[in-house]
Amino acid sequence: MVERVVLAYSGGLDTSVGIGWIAEATGAEVIACAVDVGQDGEDLDVIRERALACGAVEAEVADAREEFADDYCLPALKANAMYMDRYPLVSALSRPVIVKHLVAAAKKHNATIVAHGCTGKGNDQVRFEVGIQNLAPDLKCLAPVRDLALTRDKAIEYAEKHDLPIDVNKKSPYSIDQNVWGKAVETGFLEDIWNSPIEDLYTYSQDPTINRPVDEVVISFNQGKPVAIDGKPVTMLEAIQIMNARAGAQGVGRIDIVEDRLVGIKSREVYEAPGAMALIIAHQELMNVTVERDLARFTRQSEQRWGELVYDGLWFSPLRRALSTFFDEVNSVVTGDIRMSLNGGRAWVTGRKSPESLYDFDMATYDTGDTFDQSLAKGFVDIWGLPSKIAARRDLR
Ligand code: ARG
């Protein structure tokens, strides 16, 4: 029986050529699998037809948008997940859901190999392969660009020679990955880290320096999940889409960072994630209002760890899953409304309201009606500072 390979197919040059390239190198039949995670590019039927025209024996298209929003973006929001405090894990979050669909397609078509178009220098190869090994240890992995020496020049030559239905001139000088949670752009002139990003790179957000009126929005959360915008009920996917449009129109969520890849390289990345950033800022502030101090402090460390695990391709690991259970528990009180302003590339909170609020006006006020007994503070301060006071006295000697 001929071996079968499921290829993670994007419709671009590398994976289109990859179909024939893999077939020739391995003698296997290739099944192309495209997963819609809200990348909003070409029509998926067009992508499907292209895969078949490039020699795939079958082509699968999966609409994973709701699933991606509910099962991947929402856990990230509950964890306020930002790698290196800045990057909301756009690409890193999409890999595990794509892996799920690749593994399902492999089962369905009796494939023994799963292939992807990643290079050997990035994080995504790790995320795909560790994910595949975690979900289906029997499947083998293949990366034609990395393992079968499919370079860009060879890909163009191959596409022209075989008259494949791809416009090789349309290939952008950048490596772009996008989904509903955001967009990542790398390579090209950005590899000189002194070069400023140009306006052309951005498609999710408008130029933040342009003057425009402030947009004010109220986001309602239920247990950490955005459930309404300006009072109108939304799904998680809609919440991201609406906030992409509204925060994007105000230039929110542009990120330019030199980032530590898992493979040890530092790389320059330009991201835009207007919806993700606005939602995270709102969610963080609602946590400030509703989560008890020690839990909040502890949570912040775990948020960082969660982000690193997901960045490092360990979505399916026991620690990532256990931490998500912890964040579900933390988020059980993260219910209420956040009012925020969007303008000039910033999203900032201007009001909060919550049935779970720990903010006690009578405790906090400096006006009359204060219920906080200030006389208790004096003894507290003395005893709180005692250990370091004793140590300081010794050090003075
Ligand atoms: N550096 C980012 C990450 O590892 C983005 C990778 C984007 N992938 C791409 N093919 N452009 O998550």
Ligand 1 mutation pick, 86, 186, 311, max ligand atoms within 8 A of CB = 186
49 with 111, same domain: the answer is yes
Mean pLDDT of 163-188: 89
Which pLDDT tens digit goes with each residue over 12-26?
A: 999 999 999 999 999
Mean pLDDT of 112-126: 97
204 with 149, same domain: the answer is no
pLDDT band for 152, please (50, 70, 90 cuts).
confident
Domain encompassing residue 299: 176-353
- For the CA atoms of 373, 378, 383, 388, the dihedral, rounded to the nearest 10 degrees, stands at 130
145 with 18, same domain: the answer is yes
Mean pLDDT of 344-354: 98
pLDDT band for 301, please (50, 70, 90 cuts).
very high
**Confidence at residue 20, expressed as pLDDT on a 0 to 100 scale:** 96
Tokens of 41: 């590019």
Please say if the pLDDT value at position 312 is more than 80. Answer: yes
What CATH number has the domain bearing residue 338? 3.90.1260.10
Q: Is the CB of 186 under 6 A from ligand 1?
A: yes
Ligand 1 mutation pick, 91, 172, 271, max ligand atoms within 8 A of CB = 91
**Confidence at residue 39, expressed as pLDDT on a 0 to 100 scale:** 92
- Report which of residues 1 and 317 the model is more confident about: 317
310 with 381, same domain: the answer is no
**Confidence at residue 325, expressed as pLDDT on a 0 to 100 scale:** 98
- For the CA atoms of 51, 132, 182, 341, the dihedral, rounded to the nearest 10 degrees, stands at 150
**Confidence at residue 1, expressed as pLDDT on a 0 to 100 scale:** 82
Please say if the pLDDT value at position 286 is more than 90. Answer: yes
Distance between CA atoms of residues 78 and 70, nearest Å: 11
Domain count of the fold of the chain? 3
Q: Is the CB of 273 under 6 A from ligand 1?
A: no
Query: At which of 115, 150, 172 does a domain end?
Result: 172
Q: Is the CB of 269 under 6 A from ligand 1?
A: yes
Q: 111 with 31: CB under 8 angstroms?
A: yes
207 with 76, same domain: the answer is no
95 is catalytic: yes
DSSP annotation of 34: E
Which pLDDT tens digit goes with each residue over 245-284?
A: 999 999 999 999 999 999 999 999 999 999 999 999 999 9
Q: Which residues are CB-contacts of 390 (< 8 A; sequence separation ≥ 6)?
A: none
Q: Is the CB of 60 under 6 A from ligand 1?
A: no
pLDDT band for 41, please (50, 70, 90 cuts).
confident
The mean pLDDT value of the chain amounts to 96
Query: At which of 172, 201, 221 does a domain end?
Result: 172
Query: At which of 172, 188, 216 does a domain end?
Result: 172
E strand or H helix that includes residue 278: helix 274-290
Please say if the pLDDT value at position 169 is more than 80. Answer: no
- Give the position of tokens 């994080």: 123
Tokens of 302: 């775990």
- CA 123 to ligand 1 center in whole angstroms: 7
146 with 194, same domain: the answer is no
Write the CA distances from 173 to 122, 168, 280, integer angstroms.
17, 11, 31
Which pLDDT tens digit goes with each residue over 155-166?
A: 999 999 999 998
Please say if the pLDDT value at position 170 is more than 80. Answer: no
Please say if the pLDDT value at position 171 is more than 90. Answer: no
What CATH number has the domain bearing residue 368? 1.20.5.470
Please say if the pLDDT value at position 168 is more than 80. Answer: no
Mean pLDDT of 317-340: 98
142 with 252, same domain: the answer is no
181 with 167, same domain: the answer is no
